[in-house]
Structure 1
């Protein structure tokens, strides 16, 4: 009887310890996200980034990325899907910012990685004890899992041709509104990238590169665009040039 009671108490203590550890980890992640979010609002303006400020003050971004790297895989898997997607979008964008910051000066992210490796193939992403590439994050862990075309207006590859980087982190509670706003900003407020001009629909090559994510054919793409570009369905598509120069300010 005494042995049974002792084992029972030990199990209770173990559960309490695990819960306490989980609470501490959650608090640490939220605190780091708050600090990084405040710095993000300071370094981003109209989609452009002050990489020099990030280089002078690396602490907030690095601290948040460190906390994401320490996440428990089982806890992450149990998160609601909007919370997971918000984290992964923030992780892609934050890791990209750090990659550029750590390789300054560069005029384009494509200058990073050398002749035989693109910047998107480098093992720079750290998540829940794993290390992998930005390509892995986007093409295996985000696109096929969450299957939302708006992902392509949220991921920012540090080029001026990209959608504008938000001045805030994505959040689970605000994700739907944030993604719709990103689509609106990219399609309605970036005329050098996307515009409806007479009977011609000028589009970013992003919609060509990832055409399968927007539907089975051109008609499906136009239907997806219609809420933001009324009249897209009757227009002829042409492609704008993609600007790979750094989205710096």
Structure 2
């Protein structure tokens, strides 16, 4: 009886130590992003140097391995901000890994976008190529069954980046528990400031397809956009338009890889 008890206590101790030692600043991921993400257009956009990242994947793989070691039990002891930052970084990090693992297809011309990495009967987002919280997972599970279900937070749609030109910019830093509110707010404001993705013209308000695909997450979309009128509108007249029952149209989505070559 003593030996099984000691083994149980040992596992409990290791779990407790790992839970306490997990780096919620995600310093390693910030280092990777700062090295491989190029921010441009006055900070509104970013692109990834996938060629360099594919040549030096060890740091990314090591960081993602540390995420995969987190158990469901450990995760449940964390604060909501810790959980949310963890999941957003996981989504963005494993998306980078998916591109890097298949980068030879982009170099050969066999792939132009992340969508080209899917199988005959499945999309790349349905491919269970990584482990998280004790099970094999897909990017679809992470976004649609975990993040969107567990958190009533529409700003995550400006934070999750699917490796496409039309996506919101990938930050050159990790999301952290301490800065999460500021980072999410900045992501949404920046996304709406980018006239190539969202804006106002003589036809009304034009928006990224993201607001169409996930419209239910934003509730009353017009009311939601009014909260960001200073970011979406470039003039007093445009701000006045946002106070009306304005027309909305959605732009075509550019799925081309968000690489430095395509900026």
Query: Normalised by the shorter chain, which TM-score bucket?
Result: 0.7 to 0.9
Mark the runs of 5 or more structure 2 residues left unpaired by the alignment: 40-45, 234-238
Larger Rg: 1
1:34 Cα deviation (Å)? Answer: 2.4
Q: How does 1:21-60 map to 2 (within 5 A)?
A: 21-24=15-18, 26-27=20-21, 29-30=22-23, 33-46=26-39, 47-60=46-59
Match of 1:212 among 216, 220, 225: 216
1:129 Cα deviation (Å)? Answer: 1.7
Large movers: runs of 4+ above 4 Å? 10-17
1:45 Cα deviation (Å)? Answer: 0.9
1:133 Cα deviation (Å)? Answer: 0.8
Q: How does 1:1-249 map to 2 (within 5 A)?
A: 18-19=12-13, 21-24=15-18, 26-27=20-21, 29-30=22-23, 33-46=26-39, 47-104=46-103, 105=106, 106-188=111-193, 190-198=194-202, 200-215=204-219, 217-226=220-229, 228-230=231-233, 231=239, 232-234=242-244, 235-249=246-260
Change (3 A) 1:227 1:126: farther
Could you report, residue by residue, the CA deviation over 1:185-224 in whole angstroms, capped at 9, with x for unpaired residues? Answer: 1111x21110122561111010011000000x44444445
Change (3 A) 1:15 1:112: same
Mark the runs of 5 or more structure 1 residues left unpaired by the alignment: 1-6
**Higher RCO structure (Cα 8 Å, ≥6 apart):** 2
CA RMSD of aligned residues (A): 2.5
Q: What corresponds to 1:3 in structure 2?
A: none
Change (3 A) 1:201 1:153: same
Change (3 A) 1:218 1:129: closer
Change (3 A) 1:31 1:213: closer
Residues matched between the structures, number: 239
The residue matched to 1:64 in structure 2 has which SS?
helix
C-alpha contact 1:86 1:171 (8 A) present in aligned 2:
yes
Q: Return the TM-score normalized by structure 2.
A: 0.82
